[in-house]
Amino acid sequence: MVEPRAEEGWQAGARCTDAALPSPAASLAGCRGAGQRCCAGLGALVLLAGVSVGSWLLVLYLRPATSQPTPGTLQDEEIPSSCSETSGAEALFPTLSRTVSFRINSEDFLLEAQVRARPDWLLVCHEGWNPALGVRICQSLGHLRLTHLKGVNLSDIKLNSSQRFAQLPPRLEGFLEEVWQSRNSCASGQIVSLRCSACGARPLASRIVGGQAVAPGRWPWQASVALGSRHTCGASVVAPHWVVTAAHCVHSSRVPRLSSWRVHVGLVSHSAVRPHQGAVVERIVPHPLYSSQTHDYDIALLRLWTPLNFSDTVGAVCLPAKKQDFPRGSQCWVSGWGHTNPSHTHNSDTLQDTLVPLLSTELCNSSCMYSGALTPRMLCAGYVDGRADACQGDSGGPLVCLDRGTWHLVGVVSWGRGCAEPNHPGVYAKVAEFLDWIHDIVRFPQVSLISAPQSRYEAQRAPLGEAKRGAVVPLGGR
């Protein structure tokens, strides 16, 4: 779907489109040129062999039916040879060498560690432990906060005779992930129990059969950012006081007053929304390095005046866990109230969702797609044939992926060329690149928008010339 160009100036909720890229027709022609040359050569051989033109055309007519793609999968057959994925499972979130992994037992909230890739999980000794370490563990697992920490007596729990323990050294030096030691017992006689802020869970809500509309509670973190009663962008609840959206939704010198903004949660339909309903926005914090030209760092946090009441239909999504891997082809979900049909010029009244696979940055930055416009703070997801995509009105909304029963906010709807166009999948802000910034803003909410600590993130800025400056311009899009 080709989106209408926005009027000059700021337009809330506008998804951004790359006007400098070649047209879809030109892109497809460039991708298929090699195939056409092969077909021409094949036709010449057939003619030389004495096969009739009619038989040759019949073969060409029947050929597409032999390679129908399976919904929800990536197939090399549906990608032109010059636009094909590289072999292997490229990780969108590169794996760093780690010597310890953590998890929290869901039954008794005991912290467990897997040290140096041992197959067994070790209980963590309480000696040397403090709340700051608990916060770091929670954040490394994708949670925003530590909510409970205590030492549990070993005599109060049943242990296997082979159970071993992980312990911090008396003097903690170096990285937390590299200093753990395996022990046969805990000198203190206690192990660590901790709880983190709840996130990433949802009630068992079934999807409406035969359509894209979703049932209440299917995506409890889905939020709508509105000006008055008018939906402008999607957002994701990450804590009772905080939602994440796209910076381009709220970043402008002509942005309306804070009192005009509302955040609606627990919605399926917008038809019942009235002015002055919804949570009042207290503070808008776009990323200090956001670029309106390239849409790099396209992420923002909104702080609400009053905390949200979590329920079966309202809850938080987890952030990505540090060092978490989501390889290309991972099946993820994008949701929102954006356009549902190329011929529509208005948002959907009901919440929609669609399944999209993650694509490699190498493919999306190829000449057949976005020609290097994606920076390390971006990822793309969708289908090469354009069968499903986010669209206008979906900006700022969540791209979530399921990992071991927990939903993580992997991307924020940001920009793209049109909606569901072949060779132009949706582009998202990569949330994993902004974890330190999110934690800092949530931890120090009193920091004003003007005095936000920009210097801490200067090292993350893309090198000059890394992205094509001016290649992305605001259009009436996502």
Residues tagged active-site:
248, 298, 395
Task: Find out whether 391 and 338 touch, Cβ atoms under 8 Å.
Answer: yes
Distance in angstroms (rounded) separating the CA atoms of residues 249 and 233? 7
Give me the residues paired with residue 407 across strands.
Answer: 402
- Burial of residue 226, with CB atoms counted within 10 A of its CB: 0-12 exposed, 13-18 middle, 19 or more buried: buried
Q: What are phi and psi of 388, to 5 degrees?
A: -155, 145
For residues 26, 412, 458, 304, the Cα torsion angle rounded to the nearest 10 degrees is 150
Half-sphere exposure of 395 toward its Cβ, with a 13 Å CA cutoff? 33
List the structure tokens of 390. 């986010």
List the structure tokens of 363. 């493919």
- Chain center to CA of 96: 20
**CA-only gyration radius of the chain, Å:** 25
List the structure tokens of 392. 């206008």
| Side chain identity at residue 249, one-letter code | C
Distance in angstroms (rounded) separating the CA atoms of residues 283 and 261? 10
Sorted by sequence, the CB contacts under 8 Å of residue 90 that are 6+ apart come out as 327, 328, 360, 362
Q: Show the DSSP H helices in 97-171 as ranges.
A: 131-140
Task: Find out whether 180 and 115 touch, Cβ atoms under 8 Å.
Answer: yes
Encode 406-437: b = buried (16+ Cβ within 10 Å), e = exposed.
bbbbbbbbbbbbbbbbbbbbbbbbbbbbbbeb
For residues 257, 260, 263, 268, the Cα torsion angle rounded to the nearest 10 degrees is -150
